[in-house]
Structure 1
């Protein structure tokens, strides 16, 4: 893989109804209904809204035989209205349901974690090699029968692995690791290949963007070794809603799309499903603009491991680099020094003149106007190298593009560890140039901290969130980001830009500044009004900085995805909720109207709650 120059991964073509996927086809967009699949009229109406928004495929949950059978009626009603969208059945726990769904849907998603293996109970299991192989034979026997039905009905299969629903068998053998997730998928793919059934799509998802990206990278490497080219479905599960949902999705999915991976995507928001489509389309459109861009002559660092990247080694300069969390640098050259106390940038670039009233942030001034104050730091560009060498500040910022990294600059950086590099790019593939600069620093043994300057011209906050998160995703997940500087020439406020900066770092799991919510997008299995519940939980907990709270509609991924959360709120039945502390269920079947208050009581009992007026 070329880390610096964009091109799409070659994949095989899968026929899903009349809309093929993979190979030279466009990156497809999809969503999922949150209606009851037994309610034909309501499901059809929502599917039409999703398709009208631009979706290529629509998925429906099929908990049982009744739901799977009713896909026929939904399909008929859609065709009568001239909606030819392929339908995807989502199956968990019951392979017989998948058999039925294959007769009426254009694609069936099965989950290796619960297709034959029993539902996850977080039990540690022990197998001899003979016993383990026996379990694999059970899967082969059952899956082969399903494959034959799909062959007969020209139905595609999606092998959909979720981090939150790995089987106890896989967990016991591989641990809760990307390797385990990949092997869970490969077990099923090898059977499909052996049965000469190639009408298969793959997905491996997680709510943790780091795990999601590393797992897909490992999956692609494994597929290449085994000469498989199945197309990829990308998504971040339980991404949430609002700003966080958009940024987390754009960061995780964008990091993979930017490397040419992905043939279809679903942005999972805890909102009406039709709202997912414009977000997904904007993300795809932004990434594919890089096609056929001018060549970037980057050289990969020998010490860099694409599959398991580690943070680049740097020497700390004040609070930048080293073991420090990445910093946020923001712009206030318009003279308006306004900051949100919850999202105050670490450094504010003010150009030529310092403000009279100073906030708690450090200030950066153009080098030619620096007055030597210890709490103010000079900024240089690559044409001011002589001036930078003669300057005595303990912290200096150097704005420089990759193509200006001459031998003279490299020699200067080696002699001046107090210089923090700010990488700039106006290349169509700015990620490629930023990456190339980071790899050059590693190849030269330079340990100066590295920040990334990202320039936009946006008046729409959603566009800004999607583009900036997508641009920063791979840089953060590759371990290169010691800080970011989002600059926007548009009508967005300082508060919007600052909030986006901090949210990107949190979505990349490198800096936590607020409560994190892991909430599913909802489907026909959801046991409560998801959007209203999220709003109530947030209203009571959004001041608990650093806590992770999972809000899950049902048990399919609930306990598993919430293993990464501190507390969980999971639909247990109609009008009933169970509360979790990490993987442990603390209270079961609480009436929904009491559940939020009981969640707060649980958090208080564990000593993790504070009142909103506390520091």
Structure 2
């Protein structure tokens, strides 16, 4: 069992059971202040060439009218930074006062110029004063301090300009672009990310500059969540000011995957009261990012009023800064080292036919009288009080309500019992049984506690809650299981009635994904309207993929477009996906430019990076293996590289 630690050691979260926003200082960003008592803001980034003033202005207007409260514009060099003045002038002339943010990488002089023009400047501490070479460098303490002095010399001029012009500053760490200095001393991990920001933050505080926002972005939601938590923890431990947080999962991708990954990372932190502004990074036109961000944020506008009381967690046995799956016993194919299982809910179907199973990845082939299954084949089928008039495929097993199961006891079917049935009956399956517990009313003591602590190894708990503050409600009960040394596996069951697929993706990814990120689940069941069964099944596997707890498909780490992009990201991503989406478990990074290229590919197997107009560089992990490949040949060359490594399989 995990070691129980005092909750007082964990300062990252205002409360583990009651929703309340973390109190931060207020940061002035033009006329739209951030943090403090202000609402959670939403923002996005332009994709037009910064030198094309009319295009950027038109795009800004579209984004503002879509609801973006800040607009970020890339300024990779002095000329783009200078042109921010023209962009701002045109927008103000048209009556738009939305604060503008300059996005800076590698060029301190561009940052200094931009700070005189726009309301906020974003710098990346990994490349503001360093050039990444992926080198291991051993520093003596004196040499390390000399490096910090070098950074101070480059950083202080920007701080003085920000002070003079009232410009806000975001110190935005990216997991993939940590400096060699940080990597060598702290490692490629959340601690390295936090230290990268703190180096700059300590200098800023020494200079008396506090108009700062912080971010810890990664394409891996697990790393991203741990880094933000650790950052808040370290701010408190060091007595630094409680700065507002900009939340985002970088290179989230597009479509369903991008929305799920963003919601898993951002939503998990919002649940714990962390976050003051949100940017959802989709490989789509930025107008499509705003509705997703708004749906994430709007979940918390009334949360304090709507939430139901949850018993407080006095001692927290989970390490929130590192992933450890809760230790459970193995029951059939659930728990222990088994991948989390997916249960499809067909209990509201009037009649279940063979063709219905296509919606959950199981296909009947009449010609051979056999079943086939794809990578998104559900593991269990919940039938409620019904049965199926045909034999289920080998890869699928049934769950029935206890009284129905008791009468039928068919092969490959297992009972779901309520609490009364569990405590009063004794005729159960010798192999596998499911116990449904209402999280909101379960009193884990007395006979129930005694039974669960001494249970024969055939029971799996299904935890269901109606609390709008669902994640902490389930977390609180699982914590009590750990504290009482109950090691039975847990299935998380959430029901949704919305017809809005995007809202469903956001809600489920947040409610369930956050628990999986902390290792608190052995399976999930997402109940949705019958017409969304297929989408619900895909969503379940997508959540497992995003939390890195069960990999069932190719993963694409794809950056959102911006003014630095050297090719059409949406078009190229679609082409690469079409040729490679059958490569289960392979991670492919698709990067529009060198800024986020080799860095954010730290978590990928292969990288496809824009290196010039019509030119692509290909990477194996962090190593560049082919330079300046003509774009028309680059996808074939990428596939050849995968074949060389023996990871290619021909599509069926």
TM-score under structure 1 length normalisation: 0.97
Shift of 1:174: 1.0
Do the aligned partners of 1:300 and 1:439 also contact (CA within 8 Å) in 2? no
Shift of 1:303: 2.9
Residue of structure 2 aligned with 1:363, choices 392, 398, 401: 398
Shift of 1:106: 0.5
Please give the root-mean-square deviation of Cα atoms over the aligned residues, in Å: 1.3
Residue of structure 1 aligned with 2:435, choices 386, 393, 398: 398
User: What is aligned with 1:173?
Assistant: 185
Shift of 1:309: 4.4
Shift of 1:175: 1.2
1:388/1:452 CA distance change after superposition, 3 Å: farther
CA distance in structure 2 between the partners assigned to 1:369 and 1:493 by the alignment: 26
Shift of 1:177: 1.6
Residue of structure 1 aligned with 2:162, choices 138, 150, 155: 150
Do the aligned partners of 1:10 and 1:229 also contact (CA within 8 Å) in 2? yes
After the TM superposition, list the runs of 4 or more consecutive aligned residues in structure 1 that deviate by more than 4 angstroms.
Answer: none
1:136 aligns with 2:148: yes
SS in 2 for 1:88: strand
CA distance in structure 2 between the partners assigned to 1:448 and 1:239 by the alignment: 34
User: What is aligned with 1:113?
Assistant: 126
Residue of structure 2 aligned with 1:380, choices 402, 408, 417: 417
CA distance in structure 2 between the partners assigned to 1:330 and 1:398 by the alignment: 17
Residue of structure 1 aligned with 2:523, choices 473, 480, 483: 483
TM-score under structure 2 length normalisation: 0.92
CA distance in structure 2 between the partners assigned to 1:302 and 1:199 by the alignment: 33
Number of aligned residues? 611
Q: What residue ranges of structure 2 are gaps of 5+ in the alignment?
A: 1-12, 362-373
Do the aligned partners of 2:400 and 2:415 also contact (CA within 8 Å) in 1? yes
1:466 aligns with 2:499: no
Alignment of 1:143-542 (within 5 A): 143-227=155-239, 228-292=241-305, 293-333=307-347, 334=349, 335-336=351-352, 337-338=356-357, 339-340=360-361, 341-357=374-390, 358-359=392-393, 360-370=395-405, 371-402=408-439, 403-407=441-445, 408-416=447-455, 417-488=457-528, 490=529, 492-542=531-581
Alignment of 1:2-151 (within 5 A): 2-117=15-130, 119-151=131-163
Do the aligned partners of 1:458 and 1:492 also contact (CA within 8 Å) in 2? no
Shift of 1:3: 1.1
Do the aligned partners of 2:573 and 2:590 also contact (CA within 8 Å) in 1? yes
Shift of 1:373: 3.3
CA distance in structure 1 between the partners assigned to 2:416 and 2:151 by the alignment: 61
More off after superposition, 182-191 vs 391-400: 391-400
SS in 2 for 1:404: coil
More off after superposition, 287-296 vs 136-145: 287-296
List per-residue Cα deviations over 1:157-215 (Å, max 9, x = no partner): 10011011101111111111211110110011111111111100001100011100001
CA distance in structure 1 between the partners assigned to 2:557 and 2:273 by the alignment: 27
CA distance in structure 2 between the partners assigned to 1:126 and 1:426 by the alignment: 53
CA distance in structure 1 between the partners assigned to 2:608 and 2:191 by the alignment: 28
SS in 1 for 2:471: helix
Shift of 1:237: 0.4
CA distance in structure 2 between the partners assigned to 1:309 and 1:599 by the alignment: 32
Shift of 1:306: 2.2
List per-residue Cα deviations over 1:263-322 (Å, max 9, x = no partner): 001000000011100000001111343223332113355532222241111001111110
SS in 2 for 1:493: helix
List per-residue Cα deviations over 1:330-357 (Å, max 9, x = no partner): 1112033423233111111011222122
SS in 1 for 2:299: helix
SS in 1 for 2:420: coil
More off after superposition, 123-132 vs 491-500: 491-500
Do the aligned partners of 1:414 and 1:446 also contact (CA within 8 Å) in 2? yes
Shift of 1:456: 0.6
SS in 2 for 1:384: helix
CA distance in structure 2 between the partners assigned to 1:491 and 1:278 by the alignment: 25
Do the aligned partners of 2:317 and 2:479 also contact (CA within 8 Å) in 1? no
User: What is aligned with 1:597?
Assistant: 636
Do the aligned partners of 2:513 and 2:544 also contact (CA within 8 Å) in 1? no
Shift of 1:229: 0.6
Shift of 1:527: 0.7
SS in 2 for 1:476: helix
Shift of 1:81: 1.2
Do the aligned partners of 2:126 and 2:179 also contact (CA within 8 Å) in 1? yes
Do the aligned partners of 2:64 and 2:98 also contact (CA within 8 Å) in 1? yes
Do the aligned partners of 1:460 and 1:492 also contact (CA within 8 Å) in 2? no
Shift of 1:491: 5.6
Shift of 1:387: 4.9
SS in 1 for 2:192: helix
SS in 2 for 1:378: strand
SS in 1 for 2:197: helix
Do the aligned partners of 1:378 and 1:393 also contact (CA within 8 Å) in 2? no
Do the aligned partners of 1:328 and 1:484 also contact (CA within 8 Å) in 2? yes
Do the aligned partners of 1:246 and 1:466 also contact (CA within 8 Å) in 2? yes
SS in 2 for 1:16: coil
CA distance in structure 2 between the partners assigned to 1:492 and 1:56 by the alignment: 35
